[in-house]
Amino acid sequence: MTLVSASAGYGKTTLVTEWLAATIPSFIQGKESGDEVRRSRVRATWLSLDKADNDPARFLAYLIAALGQVDTRIGERTRALLQSPGPLPPEVVLTTLINEIAVVHAPFILVLDDYHVIQALPIHQQLDFLVEHQPPQMHLVIITREDPPLPLARLRARGQMVEIRQDDLRFSPAECADFLQRVMDLDLTQGDIIALERRTEGWIAGLQLAAVSMKGRADLSNFVEAFTGSSHYILDYLIEEVFERQPVEAQDFLLKTSILDRMCGPLCDAVLNRTGSRDLLYRLEHANLFIIALDQTRTWYRYHRLFAELLRQRLQASDTLSEDELHRLASGWFATQGFIPEAIQHALAASDWNRAAALISDNSVPMLRSGELMTLLGWLKALPNEVIFTRPELCQNYGWALTLTGQLDAADIYLQQAENIAGDDERLLGPILVARAYHLRVGGDISLAIDYAWRALSILPQADALSRGLAALTLGLAYWNKGDFQESERAFLEVDRAAQQSGNHYARMTALTYLGNIQAVFGHLHRAAELCHQVIQSGGPSAPVAPAHIELAALFYEWNQLHSAIQEVQIGIEQSQHTGNPLILLDGYRTLAIIQQGRGEAKEALSTLKKADQLVESHQVSPLGRFRIAACHVQVALAQEDLTTAQLWAEQVSEPTDISLFDPCLGLTPVRILLARQDKTKAAERLNELYDTACQKGCGAGMVEVRLLQSLAADTPENALHFLQDALKMAQPEGFLRTFVDKGKPMEALLERLRSQGGELKEYVQAILAAFGGTGRSAPQGMLVEPLSERELEVLRLLAQGLSNREIAQRLVVTVGTVKSHVHTIIDKLGVSSRTQAVARARELALL
């Protein structure tokens, strides 16, 4: 990384531009965002930041666009990811982006100019993440007026940063002489030059302004004497000199255009109500009046920021010119040309609320979709409430933006207002009800959220797939939270349908992940596994992939494929660490703890739960999330025959009525404790009720579990065997194993007894008893002697996609030799003789 850090006017940007031009023959100076260098062999890309870029989503979008200039492949997947509704955790997006950068072979340079304008902490965090995980082929150059909040000391200590600071940029006396005499062609004495160098301390902005002031003067020494003798701030002194020497036409132009962050001929014509601005801009550029061309064609210009500040101050001080009027004219021009953000900013600056409201209203939906929430909120906050309150769509979109950024109370005000004004107008009301339903669900009011989502679906037209999909998603999640899985399934099927229609990949993957979970709850384990595989294969690195891995791990565990279970859950945990969603990570830890306990690794299971506890403490985890962890503690403690600990944790599990009874461990926790205390009568009573509930809800997995617990709680051996046989019949088609095995010795004894009696399902009983071996440590069929490493699994997956060694090497950014050696090991470990066989064998072992 290179850090160019110095005050305004030291020539930072010029230095880097010239360095690039000298280093990279094809580099052309082009400096605004979206106007990066366009040539086929570009190895550098430039991103100029301004205050409006303080929105994490927008910053990311510009960053991706800039990187796309280096290699068109960068950003394809990341952009696809960003099409998901609502904001994604930045780490997910950045990880994807970094992986995409890693594909590029040749080194390249990314310049972030004017980084000091960035004040948003999330952007600093994004940059920190990027620097910390920077692929070696990328070289970052940061140009700034203040040191960025990055771990600079660490980068310095590791020798990973080159710094160019004020002292390096200061013009030496020789350079001052060269600049003034040769570049500016001024006939100055040695004494004058030394005096100017002292006065400006080698500050190039000061030197340049002084030079411009001296152009065309007869007596330079007089000027130098007056200037160097004055104690006035250099710029105050010189701007006066320079400005007063301009023709009236130019003075007027400079003042009025100072409100523009960037300008072109037609825009200036519109703002000044004149013609010929293009020529004037060109003339100003040649007079060295601190005006910078932003592109090759000399269409867009901007003032040097320091100069613009000085001009604006003069404009503000003058009473004759109306800034509002200038802003209004600028807004109009930008709007007709389709530069909406600038049109909005100028409308707001002009306090033209009606105009600003109309522009914001027309553009909020795409901004919500792309996650530019901070920008949208920034505009809306600048509008007076009276203006917003009369516009239902604006209220609705304000409500969305506030909800999506977690400001639920504020959101409520605007959403209620939106509903009030919309009245009976169904066209307006439909999307408002969707927003309210979403808001209510996030706020925990599940029942009302369901009401609103249904009302929305009843009036939304079929063609509005986006709103219908969102309503159905809200419905599905709300029913799922309530434990009403049948309704939840129906809703998610509707989400899947609508998402296919509207091409919303993220919503579709979310729906499939939940459908997979619901199938598992129903006891349709194979169907559940299919859905998880589908998400993993086509999901890309988006958030729903992590829960799909974790769900799949739980399924492998049920089938006693412990090795695959461990591998899946580890992938799931690793990926959920990137999502920033603690609930997914908690699911991962819970599943891992159960698997570890099942493998007889008691200590490891406890240390996994400890990590989960720490996560619960450090994050705001919902009550349901906390109950689940506590229930998992109970399960593990009971398996370790530690009744005291189990009882302590059981006290932490409460069961609010809205919460799923058949969440695998929640509703059963009290019964488990009763059974462990040998209080069979009470347990049996409770289990009877639970069995009925499970039947009503269609929770097949719960029915098997309850039947087995009933057999343990039964008063006579006959009854016990009766319950057990019932469970076996239900469980056999889907191959449940661990639900039996985890009940331990008493269950093993019952199964032995059943086996001795013979009868149907003999083979299944045999298989379950085989799985009891030891503490489950004995290798089930098909397990590998030596497991595959993470990297080998990664290579295996790419092999399965039919990639060549070379392609795999590119994908993983390693040499072809390394890939060959991985493939060799994989073939060895799987005990096969070719790549094709390896893939087939891996499929058999469910490693793929």
Partner 1 sequence: MLQIEIRIKGHINPQWSEWFGGLTIRHSDPDETLIAGLVPDQAALYGIISHLRDLGLKLTSVSSEEVQENFYEHNR
Chain residues that interact with partner 1, rule: CB under 8 A: 7-9, 116, 145-146, 203, 205, 231-236, 305-306, 309-310, 313, 316-317
- Rounded to a whole number of angstroms, the minimum distance from the CB of residue 229 to partner 1 is 12
Nearer to partner 1, 171 or 414 (CB): 171
In the complex, minimum distance from the CB of residue 237 to partner 1, in angstroms, rounded to a whole number: 9
Q: Which amino acid is at 486?
A: Q
Q: At 377, which amino acid appears?
A: L
Q: Is the CB of 239 or the CB of 368 nearer to partner 1?
A: 239
| Helix, strand or coil, per DSSP, at residue 603 | helix
Taking the complex as a whole, the smallest distance from the CB of residue 124 to partner 1 amounts, in Å, to: 15
Tokens of 112: 């972030």
| Helix (H) or strand (E) run with residue 45 in it | strand 44-48
> What minimum distance in Å lies between the beta carbon of 8 and partner 1?
4
Q: Compute the distance between CA of residue 342 and CA of residue 347 in angstroms, rounded to an integer.
A: 8
The residue among 58, 56, 5, 9 whose CA lies nearest residue 34 is 58
Of 102 and 118, the one with the shorter C-beta distance to partner 1 is 118
The least CB distance from residue 201 to partner 1, in Å, is: 9
236 or 752, CB closer to partner 1? 236
Cα–Cα distance measured from residue 138 to residue 172, given in angstroms and rounded to the nearest whole number? 32
Whole-number minimum distance, CB 596 to partner 1, in Å?
49
| Minimal distance, residue 7 CB to partner 1, in Å | 5
Nearer to partner 1 by Cβ, of 146 and 651: the residue is 146
- Range 76-83 contact pairs with CB under 8 angstroms and sequence separation of 24 or more: 76/100, 77/540, 77/541, 80/505, 80/540, 81/506, 81/540, 81/541, 81/542, 82/57, 82/370, 82/371, 83/369, 83/504, 83/505, 83/506
Q: Give the residue with the Cβ less far from partner 1, 377 or 793.
A: 377
Q: How far is the CB of 440 from partner 1 (least distance, A)?
A: 34
Q: Which is nearer to partner 1, 234 or 335 (CB)?
A: 234
Q: Rounded to 10 degrees, what is the CA torsion of 296, 300, 301, 305? A: -110
Question: Which residues are within 8 A (CB) of 54 and not within 5 positions of it... i.e. 6 or more apart?
Answer: 117, 118, 119, 120, 123, 374, 378
Q: Which is nearer to partner 1, 152 or 832 (CB)?
A: 152
| Residue 525 · residue 556 · CB < 8 Å | no
What's the Cα-to-Cα distance from 492 to each of 36, 443, 507, 695, 700, rounded to whole Å?
A: 43, 21, 10, 21, 19
Quote the least distance from Cβ 150 to partner 1, whole Å: 18
Least distance in Å: CB of 325 to partner 1? Answer: 19
Nearer of residues 9 and 392 to partner 1, judged by Cβ: 9
Residue 293 burial (C-beta neighbours within 10 Å; 0-12, 13-18, 19+): middle
Q: Which is nearer to partner 1, 236 or 692 (CB)?
A: 236
Residues 540 and 95: their CA atoms lie apart, in Å, by 12
Which amino acid would we find at residue 432? I
The C-alpha atoms of residue 538 and residue 544 are separated, in whole angstroms, by 11
Q: In sequence order, what are the residues at sequence separation of 6 or more whose Cβ sits closer than 8 angstroms to the Cβ of residue 657? A: none
Query: What is the C-alpha separation between 598 and 457, in angstroms, rounded?
Result: 45
- Residue nearer to partner 1 on the CB measure, 145 or 278: 145
We find the least distance from the C-beta atom of residue 304 to partner 1, in angstroms, to be 11
Give the residue among 516, 554, 557, 560 at the shortest CA–CA distance from 534: 516
CB of 233 within 8 A of CB of 310? no
Q: Which is nearer to partner 1, 312 or 835 (CB)?
A: 312
Residues with Cβ within 8 Å of 207's Cβ and at least 6 positions away in sequence, in order, are 171, 176, 179, 180, 196, 200
To partner 1, the closest distance from the beta carbon of 316 in angstroms equals 6
How many residues make up the chain in this entry?
848
The least CB distance from residue 166 to partner 1, in Å, is 11
Query: Other C-beta atoms within 10 Å of 26: how many?
Result: 12
Rounded CA gap, 683 and 688, in Å?
Answer: 9
Q: Which is nearer to partner 1, 76 or 236 (CB)?
A: 236
